[in-house]
Amino acid sequence: MTATQSTAVSSTTGPNRILVIDDEQIVLAGLRETLARENYDVVTADNSFAALSELQKQSFAVIISDHQMPGVTGLEFLSQAKGIQPFATRILITAVLSLDTVIDAINKGEIYRFIVKPWLREELLATVKNAVQRYELINRNAALRAEAVDMNEKLQELNKSLEQQMARVAEQNQRLERLNQALAENLLHSVQMGLHILQTFHPALGNQARRVHEVCKAMADTLNLPAEKRQALEMSAWLHDIGLVGFRRDLIRRWEENPQILPEDEQTLLQSHPILGQDLVRFVHHLEEVGTIIRAHHERFDGTGFPDKLKGEEIPWLGRLLAVAAGFGVARTIDSRPAATTSATAGAPTPVMVRLVVLQPDARTVSAVGDFNGWDPARTSLQQVSNGVWSVTLPLTPGRYEYMFVVDGQRWVSDPAAIEQSDDGFGARNAVLEVLPPGAPL
């Protein structure tokens, strides 16, 4: 074996680098000269050890090997080279080789081409050029494949991250939903607490609030109000008189009986209750609109109301609805105050004033019949207090009463606003009235 020799003839980069191995120095020099002139970076080796050493040090686009070498054949060397640099294009130079061997080597992927000695220069250069292009193509494919794999991995990571983020968002949404639900429950509890305070302070006001709420609910159904507006109106109905809490009860009573006889300063004081109500509900977040509606519940369309003397459409729409409902509710208040005109005997139950109201726009006469007057239509007549609204106030001792209205002396109708109805045994439904003792909790 000749001495180890390897020479780099130029410093061009990897894709143009060619390793040539041949034990004949003259052939080696010829190949180096020919390829270097074409600007290839040629590295030569005159034995397989030197060539393998070069393969360990740097990458080559093409490996050209002589077949007839001492110790190792070109095919054997190229097979080893394939293990070290599989992308490099391998070319075998041979003078004598059976066609079957060459075809077999090509088919098994050991070599790309073979060159027969003596070769034509153009043929050699064309083969080397194709070999370099093949190397570049394989390398580019490998780079693209690696890039695709890398992109896929990143995509998978992104997908995973996206899934985790979506799971986090879903979890946060659930938490938010729970919080919203808790907030809604707290809001309802706050309103119920306000109603409870009102009812404890003055049961008649609490009762009235419930009736006004029923009317508002019916209005919301009829007008098909959106959920938010419906909630604001219903809450306003429950709390519309909360501003009266803290006023002297006798003052409220006198105001309800006949507001005109109150001194101006007391009237002014009582007329501030919508403003006080608005202030009281302000402590609960989300009740700002409710406060505005409550403030407007005594305004009148003609501007004669209070506290702001708003006119027409200056009054908020829901405030107008509440004002109508509150007016209706007041008209049929079952009052827990003692009857001022009735002198109660010692030990006897104290009567309370009860006002019955019914809407009968086409009626000529309306009377009330029930347990309280022996079901006699002649004994309790209602007066028309406004267009189609009929009313009567009567003293009743605490207890449970069933009653009906008689329209035009012949048509019996129940009270649609009664909280309870009872079957009379003849196919009709009597309204039921529960009169509580003054000051009794409801």
CB of 273 to Fe ion, least distance (A): 6
* b/e code 375-404 from CB counts within 10 Å (16+ = b): bebeebebeeeeeebbbbbbbbbeeebbbb
Q: For the CB of residue 283, give the shortest distance to Fe ion in the complex, in Å.
A: 19
Q: Least CB distance from residue 310 to Fe ion, whole Å?
A: 15
Q: Is the peptide bond before 437 cis (omega within 30 degrees of 0)?
A: no
CB of 304 to Fe ion, least distance (A): 15
C-alpha 147/C-alpha 154 separation (Å) is 10
Site for Fe ion in 194-223 (CB under 5 A): none
Question: Residue 45 or 281: which CB sits closer to Fe ion?
Answer: 281
- Listed ranges 56-64, 139-147, 227-235, 241-249: which one lies at the site for Fe ion (CB under 5 A): 241-249
Closer to Fe ion by CB, 272 or 393: give it: 272
Least distance from C-beta 274 to Fe ion, angstroms?
A: 6
How far apart, in whole angstroms, are the C-alpha atoms of residue 230 and residue 209?
Answer: 16
Contact pattern from residue 67 through residue 106 relative to Fe ion, giving x for each residue in contact according to CB under 5 A and a dash for the rest: ----------------------------------------
Segment contacting Fe ion (CB under 5 A): 43-51, 168-176, 239-247, 365-373?
A: 239-247
Please give the residues from 23 up to 42 whose contact with Fe ion meets the rule CB under 5 A. Answer: none
> Smallest distance from the beta carbon of 208 to Fe ion, in angstroms?
9
Tokens of 209: 């609030």
256 binds Fe ion (CB under 5 A): no
Measured from the CB atom, the residue of 46 and 289 that comes closer to Fe ion is 289
Q: How far apart are CA 198 and CA 428, in angstroms?
A: 35
d(CA 385, CA 237): 23
Phi, psi angle pair for 318, to nearest 5°: -70, -30
Shortest CB 305 distance to Fe ion, Å: 11
- Least distance to Fe ion, CB of residue 427, Å: 40
d(CA 51, CA 21): 7
* Longest CA–CA separation in the chain, Å: 147
Q: Residue of minimal CB distance from Fe ion?
A: 241
Site string for Fe ion, 290-329 (x = CB under 5 A): ----------------------------------------
Supply φ then ψ for residue 28, to 5 degrees.
Answer: -60, -45
In the bound state with Fe ion, the residue whose beta carbon lies nearer, of 23 and 241, is 241
374: left (phi over 0), alpha (psi -120 to 50) or beta: left
245 within 8 A of 270, measured Cβ to Cβ: no
Instruction: Pick the closer one to Fe ion by CB: 279 or 434.
Output: 279
Q: Hey, what are 246's tokens?
A: 């803290």
The strand pair at 6-8 and 41-45 is best described as antiparallel
Q: Which stretch binds Fe ion (CB under 5 A): 41-49, 50-58, 90-98, 233-241?
A: 233-241
Nearer to Fe ion, 234 or 241 (CB): 241
Across-strand partners of 399? Answer: 435
Cβ-based nearer residue to Fe ion, 255 or 372: 255
Q: How far is the CB of 316 from Fe ion (least distance, A)?
A: 16
Which among 24-32, 56-64, 110-118, 236-244 is the span making contact with Fe ion, rule CB under 5 A? 236-244
CB of 389 to Fe ion, least distance (A): 18
Stretch that binds Fe ion, among 17-25, 137-145, 235-243, 300-308 (CB under 5 A): 235-243
Residue 241 is a binding residue for Fe ion (CB under 5 A): yes
d(CA 333, CA 208): 6
Nearer to Fe ion, 241 or 289 (CB): 241
Number of residues that bind Fe ion (CB under 5 A): 1
Separation in Å, CA 135 to CA 17, 38, 90, 139, 190 = 11, 17, 10, 6, 80
Q: Which is nearer to Fe ion, 241 or 335 (CB)?
A: 241
CB burial string 250-274: b at 16+ within 10 A, e below: eebbbbbeeeeebeeebeebbeebb
Tokens 């390897």 appear where? Answer: 6
Footprint on this chain of Fe ion (rule: CB under 5 A): 241
